[in-house]
A and B are shown apart, each in its own frame.
Chain A
């Protein structure tokens, strides 16, 4: 029936035009592929910049002066250029600019402790507790392990249950249920337990054990994230 063909033809796809055989591959390019295609990051240059060594003057002199061209060919970045204070750079990095309307696909500024670390210490705060603690997320393999560890840490409080989602820690003052939440890389506060453990470890920046009543409004956006990460 023609309808089916029309449906196929009008289906939104990101991929090379034409080529029915390629239709199957016409899905969003993965993050890594995009990097390969467009950015060709000169990683050596980036490392140098990070180490604080200036580019040799000769190389810079060779680089031709170009007007504002929109071609994605990147130049190795000179140290301290553009002249933006490191304080400001750091603040903007933390803000983790969510520019979805980029002209070119841009890698998110990697956090100072980008992957490959052997530990992932994050702060844990509990509402009502006089001080914060720190846990190394990489010490645990499942949410259950983490839950047990947290219970032990804030051991003055009643703890029951073994699932983060159910949040069976109890607030010391009011006796009400608490839930465990975390702040992810984008700065959003999420309910712990929705995403696969590994994804959680990678995106969790800090933990907060809060009263259930305050946890209203935490949007479960993790489902969208799961899709993108496939």
Chain B
């Protein structure tokens, strides 16, 4: 090995893209560590507080693409209060100083301000791609600075599911003239109006546009005109189907024709206010579609859904609402043999979260769609028998997320917990990397998970388990576990402390509304300097040193701990105590 020329290693490295593999390579020996770090162009930081930005830059001086993730996953469900942190500015700042050649910046669950966007716009001459997923804190003014100042190389602006403050629609005018290099433009999340004229002009001068996702306020006629000018479009997120539908006679015909002529369109989303009849315009593209997202279209009835899906024989990814019903899913099962990913969301989540879906739908899918590897399924009920059948039909799940709407729902046929069902899933799908549990579950399910889920990397637990043993089984068994998030489950200090050996090899642990106490968290923090233990306690008084015993016995509402080489973070707000 000592005689293996570095140049050869470098050459080989050029073909290795996966972060996981690259990290493994860098651990082989010191020489390889250095070769690899000088060669890595695409850097992924899974937790913005695990490492300081400067450290990342000094290790990877040839960085071209940086991806940073911020808040814990449960922030998606309003469990992390506003102001918690995950500011993007320190990262952008470090990039501006150390890496002016940066081409791509991808941020997830971070707070991005307009000031930060301005810095991005002015710091990187070759900037090509900005992707902000589930981010917040910026406005359309920030977008304007990006559009104005980023060089003509800008290829991608993607604001997936971000929250953007509306400060005018001027930003669309700001993109370079006479033409742009835009290939991807996604502003579906934008709540405000866009200037239709500016949008049309922008599309006209963006000949490379492959992916365009409009927000729900873009009138139909505008979309119709743009479709005529984007023959290379592969991915379309529609605008409104109602606004502008009547403006100009027979506009659906040009849209219909545009769809019919399109050879390249493979992915559709949006639909927002579309209902039954509107969908006829897309019938002609259905047979080419590999990706269809109807999960933001609550007005489409089951019968219409079925008509569309029947024609989507090449579909690989399908996102729908639960009003598709079990019957609709049976049609999916018989029509979409290539299906790999299915997500079914509840249409009604407020007041009385209900869905008409039962276990039947998913069982049908599992028997018809043998390539299925990713499932997210919200349903009203689930049985062990169904889960066992699903496990047998589909042994190649990599991500299985089941959400039975009512917490702690037992098997309705037997009254039993769903331990056996989930046990079958983990036993059968040896490659399972992500699992979300729901329903009535005892410690047994965790025993199964610990025993069988060897490749499991992320586990989400809610309203489950009986004793500390549950959590201990998982911590002891799942050697590849990286993220564990638990809410409303009876795990206490014993379980928390049992994982002491594990937390350094895991990315993070979240526990909320469990039975852990402040004392337990403190003793964990004391024995693990390389782990930040953060207690989030909004509304509670600051930790009072006076009566220590009483204090230590206090239940901790929210705990977030994560491994880090950056030490305790300096930007923690008042309601976060870093122990």
Residues of chain A whose beta carbon lies under 8 Å from any beta carbon of chain B? 39, 41, 52-57, 60-61, 63-68, 72, 74-75, 77-89, 91-95, 97-99, 103-104, 106-107, 109, 123, 125, 131-132, 187, 189, 214, 216-217
| 3 closest Cβ pairs, A-B complex | A80-B77, A65-B408, A67-B412
* Docked complex: B67-85 residues within 8 A CB-CB of A: 74, 76-79, 81
Given contacts A60-B407, A68-B380, A83-B403, contact A187 B77 (CB under 8 A): no
Q: Are B403 and A86 in contact (CB under 8 A)?
A: no
Shortest distance between the CB of B467 and any CB in chain A (Å): 13
Q: Are B378 and A60 in contact (CB under 8 A)?
A: no
Q: Which residues of A contact B193 (CB under 8 A)?
A: 123, 125, 132
Name the residue on B nearest A110 (C-beta): B350
Q: Are B299 and A87 in contact (CB under 8 A)?
A: no
Q: Which residues of A contact B74 (CB under 8 A)?
A: 80
Given contacts A60-B407, A80-B77, contact A92 B352 (CB under 8 A): no
| Choice from A78, A83, A93, A189 contacting B350 with Cβ under 8 Å | A93
Name the residue on A nearest B73 (C-beta): A83
Q: Which residues of B contact A54 (CB under 8 A)?
A: 79, 488, 512-513, 557-558
* Docked complex: B381-432 residues within 8 A CB-CB of A: 381, 403, 405-412, 415
Q: Are B353 and A77 in contact (CB under 8 A)?
A: yes
Q: Are A87 and B163 in contact (CB under 8 A)?
A: yes
Q: Are A107 and B381 in contact (CB under 8 A)?
A: no
Q: Complex Cα distance A39/B403, Å?
A: 24
Name the residue on B nearest A213 (C-beta): B247
Q: Are B299 and A84 in contact (CB under 8 A)?
A: no
Name the residue on A nearest B162 (C-beta): A87
B273 within 8 A of A: yes
Q: Which residues of B contact A79 (CB under 8 A)?
A: 77-79
Given contacts A95-B298, A104-B352, contact A82 B408 (CB under 8 A): no
Q: Are A91 and B409 in contact (CB under 8 A)?
A: no
| Choice from B163, B348, B381, B436 contacting A68 with Cβ under 8 Å | B381
Q: Are B513 and A82 in contact (CB under 8 A)?
A: no
Q: Complex Cα distance A1/B191, Å?
A: 63
Name the residue on B nearest A46 (C-beta): B351
Q: Complex Cα distance A82/B514, Å?
A: 18
Shortest distance between the CB of A82 and any CB in chain B (Å): 5
Name the residue on B nearest A67 (C-beta): B412
Shortest distance between the CB of B359 and any CB in chain A (Å): 10
Q: Are B349 and A89 in contact (CB under 8 A)?
A: yes
B58 within 8 A of A: no
Q: Most chain-A Cβ atoms within 10 A of its Cβ — which of B81, B407, B460? A: B407
Contact-size category for B: 35 or more
Shortest distance between the CB of B325 and any CB in chain A (Å): 12
Q: Most chain-A Cβ atoms within 10 A of its Cβ — which of B78, B298, B351, B462? A: B351
Q: Which residues of A contact B168 (CB under 8 A)?
A: 131
Given contacts A68-B409, A80-B78, contact A107 B351 (CB under 8 A): yes
What 9 new A-B contacts, CB under 8 Å, besides A84-B346, A97-B348, A109-B351? Answer: A56-B513, A67-B410, A80-B74, A83-B77, A84-B378, A87-B189, A92-B347, A98-B299, A106-B352
Shortest distance between the CB of A173 and any CB in chain B (Å): 13
| Choice from B78, B378, B411 contacting A86 with Cβ under 8 Å | B78
Given contacts A57-B514, A60-B488, contact A82 B349 (CB under 8 A): yes
Q: Are A66 and B406 in contact (CB under 8 A)?
A: yes
B288 within 8 A of A: no
Shortest distance between the CB of B284 and any CB in chain A (Å): 26
B539 within 8 A of A: yes
Q: Name 7 A/B residue pairs within 8 A (Cβ), A-sorted.
A: A52-B78, A57-B513, A60-B513, A68-B358, A82-B378, A84-B345, A95-B273
Q: Are A82 and B353 in contact (CB under 8 A)?
A: yes
Q: Which residues of A contact B189 (CB under 8 A)?
A: 87
Q: Are A106 and B462 in contact (CB under 8 A)?
A: no
Q: Are B350 and A89 in contact (CB under 8 A)?
A: yes
Shortest distance between the CB of A14 and any CB in chain B (Å): 22
B490 within 8 A of A: yes
Q: Complex Cα distance A63/B440, Å?
A: 12
Q: Which residues of B contact A67 (CB under 8 A)?
A: 381, 409-412, 415
B515 within 8 A of A: yes
Q: Are A84 and B77 in contact (CB under 8 A)?
A: yes
Name the residue on A nearest B441 (C-beta): A65
B226 within 8 A of A: no
Q: Complex Cα distance A55/B557, Å?
A: 10
Shortest distance between the CB of A136 and any CB in chain B (Å): 18
B538 within 8 A of A: yes
Name the residue on B nearest A206 (C-beta): B193
Q: Which residues of A contact B538 (CB under 8 A)?
A: 52-53
B161 within 8 A of A: yes
B264 within 8 A of A: no
Shortest distance between the CB of B73 and any CB in chain A (Å): 9
Q: Which residues of A contact B354 (CB under 8 A)?
A: 103
Q: Complex Cα distance A214/B134, Å?
A: 37
